[in-house]
Amino acid sequence: MNNNSTFIDKEYENILQNEIKENKKEIFSSRYKEKKVWVKKARATLSLKSHRIYYKIFSIEILLEVENKNARQTILYETNKLNKFRTLGINSPKIIGRNEDFFVLEDCGKNINSYIRKRDITKNKMYYFINKLISHLANIHNCDQFHGGAQARNFTYNDGVIFSIDLEESFNENIDLKILQFRDFVLFLLSLTKTRASFELDFQYIIYTYINLSNNHDFINRLQLMSKKMSFLTSLSEVGFINKFLGRDVKIFFKLFKILKDLK
Ligand SMILES: Nc1ncnc2c1ncn2[C@@H]1O[C@H](COP(=O)(O)OP(=O)(O)OP(=O)(O)O)[C@@H](O)[C@H]1O
Ligand SMILES: [Mg+2]
């Protein structure tokens, strides 16, 4: 039988043990005791080589190298962090059980993107979600934590409450917490550039609301510094040859950079 299992219901664990062999998806919803749950399979966390190279050249926090972990280390890291978040009062799913091959989470509602990426979303609704997201992220940072994958898709919404999910990314322990929090904030802003709403988002409002709640006032300077580095990159990216060389994930920075340039 499986080692290091925390499942109380062994029968359910056995059923899932077979199901994960048949289900090709890495994460899928299922049911347990009449309730919806999420099953996440073990998989390794690997740093992208391209990110490592770009980070060495440009030192842009968002390209910070993630810590390589094997599948079992990743499960331990993510489930421990979910538990830690909950003890600190940061909303995140309860763990129904974990072993070395998979873990099961209670359902925490729908992914926030399914609300904010709607074309016909009203301004009122958009800022309802954005304000909640900002306070959730600021709460994580005020508890001296970081999310690690703070894109909108890694938060869910249920009954007026935002939850953090997908906490698998870790970083070298020597990296300053403020850098990881800044990275969170940039990932969060970047993910908001992808809305399909009929109106422009007020990034100045979003940035200052977060800063007032988190007291991370120096993030304005960091954002401006990042935008300076980006301006160098933008000119590089306009050179056809280099444009081909830059990955898609790097190109998307330019969109946010244009917004940051206009920050007052
Ligand atoms: N506890 C949960 N409650 C509700 N939805 C969840 C839960 N866990 C996962 N999901 C859904 O499954 C999706 C994928 O989960 P998760 O982000 O943990 O996996 P991932 O494979 O690491 O994703 P990514 O594509 O961000 O790397 C989420 O975006 C969300 O829609
Ligand atoms: Mg995710």
Is residue 61 within 8 Å of residue 175, measured between CB atoms? no
Residue 27 Cβ inside 6 Å of ligand 1? The answer reads yes
Residue 137 belongs to some domain of the structure? yes
Is residue 20 within 8 Å of residue 102, measured between CB atoms? yes
pLDDT at 73 over 50: yes
Q: What is the mean pLDDT of the chain?
A: 89
pLDDT at 239: 59
Could you give the number of structural domains in the chain?
1
Sequence-separated (6 or more) residues with CB below 8 Å from residue 51: 63, 64, 65, 66
Residue 182 belongs to some domain of the structure? yes
**Torsional sign, CA 110, 252, 185, 257:** negative
Q: Cα separation of 103 and 86, whole Å?
A: 17
Residue 165 Cβ inside 6 Å of ligand 1? The answer reads yes
Residue 5 belongs to some domain of the structure? no
What mean pLDDT comes out for the span 19-37? 95
Residue 169 Cβ inside 6 Å of ligand 1? The answer reads no
Residue 97 Cβ inside 6 Å of ligand 1? The answer reads no
Sheet of strand 155-158, all strands in order from the earlier edge strand to the far edge: 110-111, 155-158, 161-164
Taking CA atoms only, the protein residue closest to ligand 1 atom 10 is 38
What mean pLDDT comes out for the span 12-16? 96
Crossing angle for the helix pair 177-192 and 253-261, nearest 10 degrees? 100
**DSSP letter string, 12-81:** HHHHHHHHHHH---SEEEEEETTEEEEEEE---B---HHHHHHHHHH--GGGPPPPPB-HHHHHHHHHHH
Nearest ligand to residue 169 Cα: 1
Q: Cα separation of 14 and 4, whole Å?
A: 14
Q: How far is the CA of 150 from the centre of ligand 2 (A)?
A: 9
Nearest atom (ligand 1) to Cα of 108:
3
Q: Cα separation of 79 and 68, whole Å?
A: 17
Give the residue numbers spanning the domain of 142. Answer: 10-261
Residue 2 belongs to some domain of the structure? no
What mean pLDDT comes out for the span 218-228? 88
Residue 215 belongs to some domain of the structure? yes
Residue 4 belongs to some domain of the structure? no
Higher-pLDDT residue of 237, 41: 41
Task: Report residue 229's pLDDT band, with 50, 70 and 90 as the boundaries.
Answer: confident
Q: Which of 36, 39, 111 to mutate to test the pocket of ligand 1 (most atoms within 8 A of CB)?
A: 111
Q: Which of 24, 26, 27, 147 to mutate to test the pocket of ligand 1 (most atoms within 8 A of CB)?
A: 27
Residue 105 Cβ inside 6 Å of ligand 1? The answer reads yes
Based on the number of CB atoms within 10 Å of its own CB, is 88 exposed (0-12), middle (13-18) or buried (19 or more)? Answer: middle
Supply the CATH number for residue 186's domain: 1.10.510.10
Residue 1 belongs to some domain of the structure? no
Nearest ligand to residue 26 Cα: 1
Residue 3 belongs to some domain of the structure? no
Q: Cα separation of 59 and 232, whole Å?
A: 13
Residue 153 Cβ inside 6 Å of ligand 1? The answer reads yes
Q: Which of 30, 31, 38 to mutate to test the pocket of ligand 1 (most atoms within 8 A of CB)?
A: 38
Residue 19 Cβ inside 6 Å of ligand 1? The answer reads no
pLDDT at 241: 54
pLDDT at 238: 62
Taking CA atoms only, the protein residue closest to ligand 1 atom 27 is 166
